Amino acid sequence: MQSFPKMSQELSLENQTMTEQLEPTISKDFKKDIFKKLRGGFFLVLGYLLSPLCWWNDLLFNLPIAYAFGYGCSLFSPKLLLPCSIIGYWLSNIVGILLMQFGSQDIFQKEPKERNLKKELFTGLISSTVYTLLILVLIQLKIIDSPVLFSNG
């Protein structure tokens, strides 16, 4: 009978020691998980704003980025303004799609997986190219109007 209180006391002591050991680990994992989710949310929102999925982003984000890229290239040759602006627009859409992919993986993926950057870049490149070609076809078929940004007269 006397061994029962002693055993209970030992178990209580072991339980307390284990709790004290696990407590910092739990809080570190929790903080790490929260940071990962916040980072993922930031990348997801930023990627959405740069991606072709956001219909109003072009005026505020993509076109100024594309123009700045084209302007930087035009410092080397003035003829590069328009082609490099188109390339800059295309690149900003690809970066947006990739940021959305990275962010969604941080938010929704429970266990860390090895990322295949080559595959993600290829996916972003293809989807952005298809979107750009679709817009060009719609402009050529006069389904949507293109703004007159570079008029000759």
Instruction: Give me the residue spans of the domains in the chain.
Output: 3-140
pLDDT digits 0-9 by tens, 66-91: 999 999 999 998 898 888 998 998 88
Handedness of CA 70, 76, 77, 78 (dihedral sign): positive
CA neighbours closer than 13 Å in the CB half-sphere of residue 141: 7
Which pLDDT score is estimated for 71?
A: 92
Which pLDDT score is estimated for 69?
A: 93
Please report, for residues 32, 36, 47, 122, the alpha-carbon distance to residue 97 in angstroms, rounded to integers and kept in the order given. Answer: 25, 19, 6, 11
Which pLDDT score is estimated for 126?
A: 81
pLDDT digits 0-9 by tens, 92-137: 888 888 888 888 888 887 766 676 778 877 876 787 778 778 877 8
Query: 10 pLDDT band (50/70/90 cuts)?
Result: low
Which pLDDT score is estimated for 75?
A: 93
CA distance 65 to 88: 7
Query: 19 pLDDT band (50/70/90 cuts)?
Result: low
Mean pLDDT of 51-72: 84
Residues 6+ apart with CB under 8 A from 47: 95, 96, 97, 98, 99, 100, 101, 102, 103
By residue count, the chain amounts to: 153
